[in-house]
Amino acid sequence: MAREGARAFGEFQRLLSDLPGGRLQETIPHFHDTRRRFEALRQAGKEDRVGRVKEARAEIAFAMEREPMVDVVLNLLARGEIPERVTHNDTKLNNVMIDDRTGAGICVIDLDTVMPGSALYDFGDMVRSAINSAAEDEPDVSRVNARLDLFDALTEGYLAASRSFLNEAEIAHLAFSGRLIALEIGIRFLTDFLQGDVYFKVKRPAHKLERARSQFALLRSMEAQRERMEEIVRRHAAKPVPSTAGAGAPVLSTTEAQQRERIASEVFADADEACARLADEIAGLIRQNDDAGRPTVLGLATGSTPVRLYRQLIRLHREKGLSFRRVITFNLDEYHGLTREHPESYWRFMHEQLFDHIDIPAENVNVPDGTVPRAEVYPWCRSYEEKIRAAGGIDLQILGIGRTGHVGFNEPGSSRESRTRLVTLDGLTRRDAARDFLGEANVPRHAITMGVGTILDARRIALLAWGEGKAGVLAEAVEGAPKDSLPASFLQGHPQVRFLIDRAAASSLTRVRYPWLVSPIRWTPAMIRRAVIWLSRQAKKPVLKLLDEDYGEHGMADLLTEHGPSYQLNIRVFNEIQHTITGWPGGKPNADDSSRPERAFPFPKRVIVFSPEPSHDVLGMGGTIRRLKAQGHIVTVAYLTSGNLAVPDEEAAMAAELVGEIAGTLGQTKDPVADFTEGVRRELAGKKAFAADSAGIRRLKALLRRGEARASLRDCDLTPAQATFLDLPFYERGRYRQFAPGPADLAAVVKLLREAMPHQIFLTGDRDDPTSITAVCHELLRRACREVAGEAWFKDCRAWSYRGVDQPWEAADVDMAVPLSPRELAQKMQAVFHHKSQRSQTPVASGLREPWQQAEQQNRALAETYDGLGLADYEAIEGFARVHLA
Ligand code: F6R
């Protein structure tokens, strides 16, 4: 409510921020002239017309002490540091109309006080009236507190709508504005009390004084929590500008920066924040329907994406008593051929992730039936559609998005009109599911899915997406024309659709990636580099050949005005890129390092390469590892997880047999080795499809990956002793999508850091889906670094991020480019090739590239980009971005 109300007031200001015409009439002159109000108090105190000063000495003194506050906003306005705006001037939350079905703020009312003012007055008044833990005239001031949770919600909602137009000075004074208006109102009450209650109505003799006291108590509470309030503002202000469309509100307009977006997309700091928000909205919807005696019909998705949403719903059920008794659910899809009991069936997934933990009646749950015989699928699908209709249609459909652009399992080629049906899965979708199914070969080829048309029938749609892996397809769905080859793009036609995404998933939207194309921006060095690289690629010219006209023709004239002419700008950016290139990733000792990415000393450096699973290290930076070693640095590769979940059974069986044969040739048929081999053989032979492995088999599979990792490090010229295997417990206990790192994981990483005291850390996974192993490991590393941040050695430690094969760094993000010669590239491929258990099990059938092929292609592509920019023409380049971990 606070969030939505504040958002509505922000939206009100935003819509009026470019109101044409002359200045509005001041309905109440001097309304927020705090100086004038202050002087009136002083005067009333002096005159003491009704002899009340003696009762109010403490309050008068309190106000007088705060005189320095009264001119702050007035001065900002007078100096033009903040603009005069059209403001509402009565921003209490009951002046917002809230949609009682969706909980969304629709519009603000009570417009008779609309007049010129500062945005800060509106926000301040909202804060003052909304975050008080007690009533405005609470006589017992010990009950008056400023509630930070409400302040957080207000700030979030207000900034979501207003961040696009507020200036920095306005944002910097938001927290202050709450204090200012509390002071101002307190002063007004107090003045009126001293003057004998001429303005405000009174209920009891000292009522006015009580109201003043209460405002001052609120102000005192805000003063005590000032730092935290400032921090809340900073946090919300740092978020990228989100869509202006709130829950269920139709997309009436978007900001300038979002002009290319055809679907309202709200960007959150992370998946947890987005899921908490959506879960609250779902709870609101359920409660409203419950109150109205209606069922709530939810369309649900499976996969990694909604897992956190389901956790939040479970939390709301447990902690806030949210009941699902009257909720009816319809799942999007199910693999064809899987029974409910199959470990990878969506029926089972939904029960494990949600239904088993809430009070939804079993008969209200609907998941497509994967066991319907082929010949009966069509009538079955029609009956599913009929059932949705009979339930009253879907109120809210939750969606994820596949890397092919599918929603549900509507793969490319699905039409807008498609209905629930049997479909064939795309090769990329099957590869993405390969881990869950312990190998691509086991992934079913068909699925039953609701159609695009079925999805579009839902009254509201919320699509979630996390991680950079989704960024490309998401940007296409949001900004491109709707087309069959990208089914998610058909969502554009829906009147109540919105995307809730994290920053990484938003990274390919024009407003994030090429913001200068949609609105004037502040040109930071990083943005200038990005823009010039983009221009060079658009114009197909090396950087040093770009002309003023090229800048002009590509809408970058303002960059030239600020930082031109092109000749100088080109040289500046060219040099910057040139300085990213180094053959000395650990720094070049005894060389001038003023324009090198890494410092010369200390030398040699202690270097740790963190690899979430064996193989990530060499795929991402095999060439660089080799160089670091060759240049005399002390390199350790730390494998965070054993990677045993990704080893196919056949590989384990082969290894066990090998061990057995060796034992046999040594004549040791009765010893523990032979018993072990026999045990593994028996276990694998009797293992039910997709059953979890025993600890023994997982151990064997882990050893296999260790063997591969060591062999591959040997190709980087490292010795086996330079590998450290942490086998973090979260992975050993976990399953895909269900990893829950704990204190033991953190302790292991912290211990390693303390022992190794590295000068350089290489890591990966910073923009990945939060449920992925790489992202879990990255988060652990961050937390570990925060723990050791105060230690002396850490101050001398630099961190570099390398990327996996799915999302390589773009040239504009690269802070260190390590070139590889043809021979070095071949050696890297050799090293990667040792990870045999990770090669596709169906290389011919899938038609997709193997990870090692992708790595090679990406290293070559980065080199080609550098060449195109006019830098040296290398065979391949490994790219790194500098990161700050604590
Ligand atoms: C799941 C579904 C799919 C997924 C999509 C993303 O029911 O219909 O469309 O939403 O494949 O999968 P994850 O979330 O695993 O990335």
Whether 214 contacts 97, CB under 8 Å: no
Pocket test for ligand 1, best of 403, 406, 463 (most atoms within 8 A of CB): 406
Q: What is the mean pLDDT of the chain?
A: 91
CA of 22 relative to ligand 1 center, distance in Å: 52
659-704 confidence digits (pLDDT tens): 878 877 877 666 777 788 888 888 888 887 677 888 889 999 999 9
* Nearby residues of 212 by Cβ (< 8 Å), 6 or more positions away: 56, 59, 186, 187, 189, 190, 193
400 Cβ closer than 6 Å to some ligand 1 atom? yes
156-172 confidence digits (pLDDT tens): 999 988 887 888 889 99
Band (pLDDT 50/70/90 cuts) for residue 244 is very low
433 Cβ closer than 6 Å to some ligand 1 atom? no
Strands lying side by side in the sheet with 798-801: 723-725, 634-639, 606-611, 760-763, 798-801, 876-883, 816-820
What is the end-to-end Cα distance of the chain in Å, rounded?
35
3-class DSSP assignment, residue 333 = strand
Q: What is the pLDDT of residue 251?
A: 35
33-83 confidence digits (pLDDT tens): 999 999 999 999 999 999 999 999 999 999 999 999 999 999 888 877 788
DSSP state, residue 37:
H
Is residue 252 predicted with pLDDT exceeding 70?
no
Q: What is the pLDDT of residue 862?
A: 98
Bridge partner list, 876? 820
SS3 readout for 158-205: HHHHHCCCCCHHHHHCHHHHHHHHHHHHHHHHHHHHHHCCCCCCCCCC
187-221 confidence digits (pLDDT tens): 999 999 999 877 777 777 688 889 999 999 999 99
CA of 332 relative to ligand 1 center, distance in Å: 9
The rounded distance, in Å, linking the Cα atoms of 794 and 802 is: 20
Pairing label, strands 396-399, 296-300: parallel
Q: CB burial class (10 A; 0-12, 13-18, 19+) of residue 519? A: middle
CA of 367 relative to ligand 1 center, distance in Å: 15
Question: Which one-letter amino acid corresponds to residue 451?
Answer: G
The atom of ligand 1 lying closest to the CA of 429 is 11
CA of 647 relative to ligand 1 center, distance in Å: 23
H or E segment and range at residue 300: strand 296-300
Q: Which of the residue ranges 247-261, 630-644, 683-697 would you say has the lowest mean pLDDT?
A: 247-261
851 Cβ closer than 6 Å to some ligand 1 atom? no
Q: Which two tokens mark 211?
A: 């109201």
* Nearby residues of 438 by Cβ (< 8 Å), 6 or more positions away: 645, 648, 649, 690
By alpha-carbon position, which residue is closest to atom 11 of ligand 1? 402
The atom of ligand 1 lying closest to the CA of 407 is 9
106-142 confidence digits (pLDDT tens): 889 999 999 989 999 999 999 999 999 998 888 888 9
The atom of ligand 1 lying closest to the CA of 303 is 15
By alpha-carbon position, which residue is closest to atom 9 of ligand 1? 408
423 Cβ closer than 6 Å to some ligand 1 atom? no
The atom of ligand 1 lying closest to the CA of 406 is 9
402 Cβ closer than 6 Å to some ligand 1 atom? yes
CA of 465 relative to ligand 1 center, distance in Å: 9
DSSP state, residue 146:
B
H or E segment and range at residue 657: helix 649-665
Whether 211 contacts 59, CB under 8 Å: no
Is residue 390 predicted with pLDDT exceeding 90?
yes
Q: Which of the residue ranges 625-639, 660-674, 728-742, 804-818 would you say has the lowest mean pLDDT?
A: 660-674
Q: What angle do CA 611, 614, 620 make, to 5 degrees?
A: 55
Question: Which one-letter amino acid corresponds to residue 768?
Answer: D
Is residue 296 predicted with pLDDT exceeding 50?
yes
301 Cβ closer than 6 Å to some ligand 1 atom? yes
Is residue 625 predicted with pLDDT exceeding 80?
yes
Torsion sign, CA atoms 229, 258, 4, 309: negative
772 Cβ closer than 6 Å to some ligand 1 atom? no
Cβ-defined contacts of 51-57 (< 8 Å, 24+):
52/193, 52/194, 52/196, 52/209, 53/194, 55/206, 55/209, 56/190, 56/193, 56/194, 56/209, 56/212
Is residue 605 predicted with pLDDT exceeding 90?
yes
3-class DSSP assignment, residue 809 = coil
Pocket test for ligand 1, best of 275, 302, 335 (most atoms within 8 A of CB): 302
Band (pLDDT 50/70/90 cuts) for residue 243 is very low
Q: CB burial class (10 A; 0-12, 13-18, 19+) of residue 341? A: exposed
Q: What is the pLDDT of residue 20?
A: 67
Percent of the chain with pLDDT strictly greater than 90 = 73
Pocket test for ligand 1, best of 401, 436, 446, 773 (most atoms within 8 A of CB): 401
332 Cβ closer than 6 Å to some ligand 1 atom? yes
Pocket test for ligand 1, best of 300, 304, 305, 421 (most atoms within 8 A of CB): 305
CA of 173 relative to ligand 1 center, distance in Å: 43
411 assigned to active site: yes
Select the more confidently predicted residue: 254 or 869.
869
CA of 677 relative to ligand 1 center, distance in Å: 39
758 Cβ closer than 6 Å to some ligand 1 atom? no
CA of 39 relative to ligand 1 center, distance in Å: 63
408 Cβ closer than 6 Å to some ligand 1 atom? yes
Is residue 477 predicted with pLDDT exceeding 60?
yes
By alpha-carbon position, which residue is closest to atom 2 of ligand 1? 408
* Nearby residues of 178 by Cβ (< 8 Å), 6 or more positions away: 123, 124, 127, 128, 131, 146, 151, 222, 229
CA of 299 relative to ligand 1 center, distance in Å: 13
- Catalytic-labelled residue, pool 385, 411, 468, 878: 411
Cβ-defined contacts of 824-827 (< 8 Å, 24+):
824/623, 824/626, 824/627, 824/875, 824/876, 825/623, 825/856, 825/859, 825/860, 825/875, 825/876, 827/622, 827/623, 827/626, 827/715, 827/716
Band (pLDDT 50/70/90 cuts) for residue 639 is very high
DSSP state, residue 480:
S
The atom of ligand 1 lying closest to the CA of 408 is 8
Select the more confidently predicted residue: 15 or 506.
506
The atom of ligand 1 lying closest to the CA of 470 is 16
405 Cβ closer than 6 Å to some ligand 1 atom? no
CA of 302 relative to ligand 1 center, distance in Å: 6
305 Cβ closer than 6 Å to some ligand 1 atom? yes
Is residue 421 predicted with pLDDT exceeding 80?
yes
407 Cβ closer than 6 Å to some ligand 1 atom? yes
The atom of ligand 1 lying closest to the CA of 410 is 9
Whether 117 contacts 89, CB under 8 Å: yes
CA of 255 relative to ligand 1 center, distance in Å: 29
pTM over 0.85: no
Region 789-810 average pLDDT: 94
By alpha-carbon position, which residue is closest to atom 8 of ligand 1? 408
Q: What angle do CA 114, 115, 120 make, to 5 degrees?
A: 90
Q: What is the pLDDT of residue 245?
A: 33
Secondary structure tally for the chain: helices H, strands E: 33, 21
543-574 confidence digits (pLDDT tens): 999 999 999 999 899 999 999 899 999 999 99
By alpha-carbon position, which residue is closest to atom 3 of ligand 1? 408
Band (pLDDT 50/70/90 cuts) for residue 249 is very low
